[in-house]
Amino acid sequence: MSPIETVDLLVTGARQLVTLRGEGEPSPRAGRGMSELGIIRDGAFAAKDGRIVRVGSTEEVSRQVRLAPGGEAVDASGRVVTPGFVDAHTHAVFEGSRPQEFEARLQGSSYQEIAAQGGGIRSSVRAFRAATTEQLKETALERLDRMLELGSTTVEIKSGYGLSLDDELRALEVARELDGAHPVDVIPTFLGAHEIPEEFASRRDEYVALVAEEMVPEVSRRELALFCDVFCEEGVFTVEESERVLVSAKRHGLGLKIHAEEFTRSGGAALAARLGATSAEHLLEVNEDDIAAMREAGVVAVLLPGVSFSLGLSKYAPARTMIEMGLPVALATDCNPGSSMTESMQMIVTLACVEMRMTAAEALAASTSNAAFAVGLGMECGSLEAGKRADALVLNMEDYRELPYHYGVSNVQHVIKNGRLVVRSGLRVRS
């Protein structure tokens, strides 16, 4: 018998404790594995110093642990408990909003036409450059509060609205400060190759060189990012330009991500496979060769159905084919002012099910465990297992399948981050 352990958080009575525990291999889930949620009925877990120490039935865990004086007891009776969402793709450090573009699209303009007329990313670059660092931090903190209240406990954030050395460093410094100042864990990604800035419009080669030869080394030297991303797309960066940036990033020790095949099939997915990227994102226009190449190279597909929805596109990424072919799928909001203005992973789960025909189980695995692998944290979070960060949600439902079904509201009752109750009854707890 192992001795009784003193813990500082004890969650008991979950009607369904959705653990997503792994079966051996520390790798993302693929194929049928995406439907295996490892549900424990009348489940419980206990945490100490921010990490999970016991997971099992309420009866087992209650026997194995003792709650320290002042510890937190969470009664999850009759409810569903899941890992916290990992939002694996956002552009959450930005200033201003672009509702006029949303309206223009409803009247028939396309995302690319608006961008070509000086709107789009470039308009958010103007707003970013005009904002003070304090302002940027303040609006991003409010955004992170909303994300946390909606159940995201880890959030990847890309730079990419600065597009000069100083402004890109500023974006990543803000991301780092957010990580320290907010319970959500922030994963910083450098996306200097998000767009060609106005001042380089006629000198694109120079801008690519600036990103690859100056920005990447400086970001790496200052340890401001874990990943480097590129918007590889017709009219933005070509495959050759994307490769130049990503090869430099790899040489400087950054993990690789790529915005690929969003509007056109331009070769970004194959590039991700060739360079061994951690993830490729969007992927509306991939074909089966791309899917097979990514699968063989161990690339995670990060799908962003909020973009198709918000842009009013009828096309979504082929999630079913990906799952059938064994490519691990993750989901994310893509929270940004242009193509997906939402903080809600719950909404994304609904869209993934309705529009991409994922099951509730697959969508849940894609938003937690697989999303954690997509940001390099597969061994740290995304499942309820001993040793992992105690990041969990108590959902206001009896069956996890209510998650996509009950939409347009928040189903999150409590949020636990690193073993602490940070959202209680839907509201942020400030300590």
**Residue nearer to ligand NIG on the CB measure, 124 or 413:** 124
DSSP category for residue 389: B
Cβ(329)–Cβ(323) below 8 Å: yes
Q: Report if residue 334 touches Fe ion, rule: CB under 5 A.
A: yes
**Residue nearer to ligand NIG on the CB measure, 231 or 309:** 231
Distance CA 87, CA 85 (A): 6
Among 85, 227, 231, 400, indicate the residue that binds ligand NIG (CB under 6 A).
Answer: 231
- To Fe ion, the closest distance from the beta carbon of 124 in angstroms equals 12
Residue whose tokens read 């990227």: 277
Q: Report if residue 259 touches ligand NIG, rule: CB under 6 A.
A: yes
By a kind-dependent CB cut-off of 5 to 8 A, residue 316 interacts, out of ligand NIG, Fe ion, none, with: none
**Residue nearer to ligand NIG on the CB measure, 260 or 291:** 260
Quote the tokens at residue 283.
Answer: 């992927």
Selected range binding Fe ion among 74-82, 311-319, 329-337, 408-416, rule: CB under 5 A: 329-337
Q: What CA–CA distances, in Å, run from 64 to 60, 71, 277? A: 6, 16, 42
SS3 70: strand
- To ligand NIG, the closest distance from the beta carbon of 27 in angstroms equals 26
**Residue nearer to Fe ion on the CB measure, 337 or 419:** 337
- To ligand NIG, the closest distance from the beta carbon of 171 in angstroms equals 13
Cβ(255)–Cβ(376) below 8 Å: yes
By a kind-dependent CB cut-off of 5 to 8 A, residue 338 interacts, out of Fe ion, ligand NIG, none, with: ligand NIG
Which positions from 337 through 356 interact with ligand NIG, judged by CB under 6 A?
337-339
Q: What CA–CA distances, in Å, run from 322 to 6, 147, 363? A: 44, 28, 13
Selected range binding ligand NIG among 34-42, 117-125, 170-178, 410-418, rule: CB under 6 A: 117-125
Q: Which residue's CB comes closest to ligand NIG?
A: 338
**Residue nearer to ligand NIG on the CB measure, 229 or 385:** 229
Among 61, 307, 331, 335, indicate the residue that binds ligand NIG (CB under 6 A).
Answer: 307
- To ligand NIG, the closest distance from the beta carbon of 234 in angstroms equals 12
**Residue nearer to ligand NIG on the CB measure, 55 or 351:** 351
Kindly give the residue spans of alpha helices, DSSP state H, lying in 74-164: 99-106, 111-116, 121-130, 133-149
Distance CA 233, CA 228 (A): 16
Q: Report if residue 151 touches ligand NIG, rule: CB under 6 A.
A: no
- Nearest Cα residue to 163 out of 203, 134, 117, 200: 200
Q: Report if residue 261 touches Fe ion, rule: CB under 5 A.
A: no
The DSSP secondary structure of 290-320, one letter per residue, reads HHHHHHHHTPEEEE-HHHHHHHT-S----HH
Q: Report if residue 258 touches ligand NIG, rule: CB under 6 A.
A: no
What does the H/E/C string look like for 161-173? CCCCHHHHHHHHH
**Residue nearer to Fe ion on the CB measure, 334 or 391:** 334
Q: Crossing angle of helices 133-149/165-181, nearest 10°?
A: 40
Catalog residues that contact ligand NIG under the rule CB under 6 A.
Answer: 91, 120-121, 124, 231, 259, 262, 307, 334, 336-339
Where does this chain bind Fe ion (CB under 5 A)?
A: 334
